[in-house]
Amino acid sequence: MNNSIKLILLFFLIIGCNTDKKENPTMAKEQKTKMKDATPKVTGVGGIFFKAKNPSELRKWYGENLGLTVDDYGSPFEFRNTHRPEEINYLNWDAFEDSTNYFNPSEKEFMINYRVQNIEGLVEKLRKNKVTVVDEISEYDYGKFVHIMDTEGNKIELWEPVDSVLTKMGRKTTK
């Protein structure tokens, strides 16, 4: 490896390992502001879903060959919330039966799930913008869901998660 690349990597390693625990007042204020932000919007990706001829065999293949932790519901990926690092968040990857109606009315072979905040406000905004809202908001212990269609005919799942419930379920995750 070239010496200048080694020096750059060493520099970033040293910066990343800084253990000075002094709170940056600007960053602390920004984090508190973001935590209180209730703007209706997408905050991340919550799931990647696609159709498969044999979902259970495909899950097994991904587990054996790519190291995903899989079960009958796919593979939950665990990550930390940027603004609340003590909070575990999840993204779910899963293969569905080719014959599923879950992606309808889309004719596509996939569906993306987006994590959102203030789902009620977001649905109101989307309706005002003439976006097709496929169904009404459904509420479960682990969050609220609604589906919309984008301009290309892709069904999009919006999810306002309650990650703490998923954590308590104790499902094994891909890390």
Q: Provide the number of structural domains found in the chain.
A: 1
DSSP assignment, residue 131? Answer: P
Output the pLDDT for position 35: 52
| 17 in any annotated domain | no
| 99 in any annotated domain | yes
What is the CATH classification number for the domain harbouring 86? 3.10.180.10
Tens digit of each residue's pLDDT (9 = 90 or more) over 65-75: 999 999 999 99
| 29 in any annotated domain | no
Cross-strand partners of 174: 77
| 148 in any annotated domain | yes
Alpha carbon 168 to its chain centroid, in Å, reads 18
| 20 in any annotated domain | no
| 132 in any annotated domain | yes
Task: Give the chain's residues under pLDDT 50.
Answer: 1-34
| 93 in any annotated domain | yes
Report the alpha-carbon angle 68-72-75, nearest 5: 30
Q: Are 148 and 156 in contact (CB under 8 A)?
A: yes
- The CA distance from 11 to 9, in Å, is 5
Output the pLDDT for position 19: 40
| 136 in any annotated domain | yes
Output the pLDDT for position 3: 46
Output the pLDDT for position 33: 44
Cα atoms in the Cβ-side hemisphere of radius 13 Å centred on 128: 6
**What is the residue range of 94's domain?**
40-169
Looking at the chain, how many residues does it have? 175
